Structure 1
Amino acid sequence: MPTIKTLFNYVLSPKIDMNLERDPNSQRKKFGSWILAGTVSLGALLCLVGIAIFLTSCSPDLPSEASSRIFNKVSIEYIGEYKIPNYLRVKETLVGGLSGLTYDRQRDRFYVISDDRGDQSPARFYTLKLDLDTKNPQQVKFNKVDVTDVTVLKNADGQRYPPKETDTEAIAITAESSVYISSEGDRTKNILPFLNEFDLKTGKVKQSLPIPTRYLPDTEGKRGFQNNLAFEGITLSPTGTLPASGEPLRLFAATESALSQDKEVTKVGENGKIPGAKNRWLHYLLSNRPEIISEHLYQLDSPPLGAIEHGLSEIQAIDTSGHFLTLERSFGLTGFRVKIFQATMAGATDTSKIARFKGNTTIQPIKKELAFDLKKLDIYIDNLEGMALGRRLPDGSQTLLLVSDNNFNSRQITQFLLFKFKQS
């Protein structure tokens, strides 16, 4: 499976120069011209594709009375955008590839993981400080994002991870000054994925979570994660970020797309749409001996017309009752498409004992409903991969921050989008 970066280059500019440009204004002008050229040249193709497979855009039905009983009432309101220049360096590391977010409420800081495999700088996460103007509660202003520090990850020997050994995609902070980080590994090089706990200050690994055998690749290519589509999103139950809460610490981890044994042949369904992938969603109980207590199926939405890649890029717990926000992101002939859903595990089948989803029609997936389609913002959307709830605002709402992975590509941007999030 090609990466977003490869697909982005292929669709918009087959001869992209991967050297980073120093002039962000020039970068944006060139980027815009490529999009325009790509749009004109691909317009006819899109029409033919649309006629050939008769796909319709995804528009969920109105919530039923039953769904209103299992979902919270949520609202998401856009505040603003901030972009970090592609040439920014912090302590000799290049800031980019930002793929997962988590919020430290004790210190009022965000931490963001880079998915750099060691090509630019060692495996690492950054500390972020948001500058907000909340003088007018009805009109919060998003001034900027300061990247204040970087923490390099270290293995059990206290050494930096060698290049190509990690593909870190998601991060979640605990109340005990540690972070859980996922890595997708690399199936082509027999590098396994991991879900590890690291010390917040030193970056040294503290423990590893068990991963079921069905997630690990076999030599025949019939089992395990697809390459570059492993653990893309992780989150902790809200009590996990509260010191001395007394509640058990729970971690949830989701794959970006289906495991090899769960992947089904792509074909148009009776509704005229291509079904989305069947992802796996793990539920861990954390302690000195972490254990998996359940697993569920997360059904991706149908990919939009012209999508080349479509997956689940982030999950975020929003309460202790099993409600989450999920971020589904697509890339294709029309650029990036991103949607935020509310999801709940209530009534979902425990799939821990189900070896493969293919052909199984009895599984009840995690229920979800659309919360916000970023298409309605009418602004350019880049490769959004990270999402986290932040501090509360004067009106009682929470901040919700999204970040894009620029793939260290000068034709893309590191984009932060800030929202107000309310639930009842």
Structure 2
Amino acid sequence: MNDFTKNMAQALFNQDKVNDFLRKEIQTAVNQLLEAELTTFLGYDPYAKSGWNSGNSRNGIYYRKVDTQFGQIEIQVPRDRNGEFHQHTLPDYKQHSDVLESMIIKLYAKGVTTSEIADLIEKMYGSHYSPAQVSNISKQMIPKVEAYHKRKLSDRFFCVYLDATYLPLCRETFEREAVYIAIGIRPNGHKEVIDYCIAPSENVEVWTEMLQNMRSRGLKQVELFLSDGVVGMKTALAKTYPKAHFQRCLVHVMRNICNKVRVDDRETIMNDFKQIHRQPNKTAAVQTLHAFYDKWNKAYNHVIRNLKDIEPDLLAFYNYPKQIRPSIYSTNMIESFNNVVKRKAKPKAEFPSEQSLDTFIGIQAISYNDRYFNRIHKGFGQVQDTLESYFD
């Protein structure tokens, strides 16, 4: 039994001793590796005659402290006289283990503030991080988010949901700004956050720019777009994807109706309107919609008149297989994502810059895409061949 085995056996009955033993062993091993690195770089062992007049030599050490899961270790980093040696055993400038840094990024993505993260890490692991250090670690995600915005997109999506949510952002003053989000489902049922962008308010010009960017990155064909009643949205879609069809979110339409009718009528009118998306086919849906017109036209003529103007956009989802209709008559799927984002952002009160907000949303989008990678959205797997047939 060697010394390592003996010492380990003696420490096994006390967790603190085990951690202390492993910490010391790691510290010794790292320092030996660093010294071996310098020896390899110089080409001769310490004090060897072959190093005389070689043009370079050892020049002392400097100390670094690094936190590990077993406690803090003190590292002795050797130096050469010419300043040419660069060690590879430890990442540059890192003072904490990757485990903690990964946890910091995950906590940041959950909406925990930098001050709260610093406090949690210190209480849990005894490692001190200032809020500024936590912020710097979270910035490691910036290159990944930038790559996400520039990545090549799939050339076809069966449907794309468009919606904007508002989050607090501080520029010169504190305001809630619009985050434009596009989530798509491919013909094979795989879904992803295609992209998002940030602007002071929601308008069709920003949506047009975002759609054009998506097309330039490879998204050439979309069968169906879904969104709420943003003015000019259909015109923007027609310019960028002229062959695509459009479905107005029925849930948004129903909310708008409720805001324009008496409180006493809301429950009845909502139940009547819900029957429109519960029909077995489009013919029956048209009959139900027209019956809705007849019943409520006298009491709410202006509401019915507005519905008639957008009627072609209310029933487009009936043109597709019944297996997927529950997913394509509203934007509920993208609103679910938006609600998660807002819930996680709530503890932050406000984002200090557009980049911090962009990074936060990017982490959510990347996490969403990783989680649903290769998962098939409900109903789509049953009709994949049919959905593929809609494309050239």
TM bracket (short chain): under 0.3
Instruction: Give the helix-richer structure, 1 or 2.
Output: 2
Structure number with bigger Rg: 2
- Scaled by the length of structure 2, what TM-score is found? 0.27
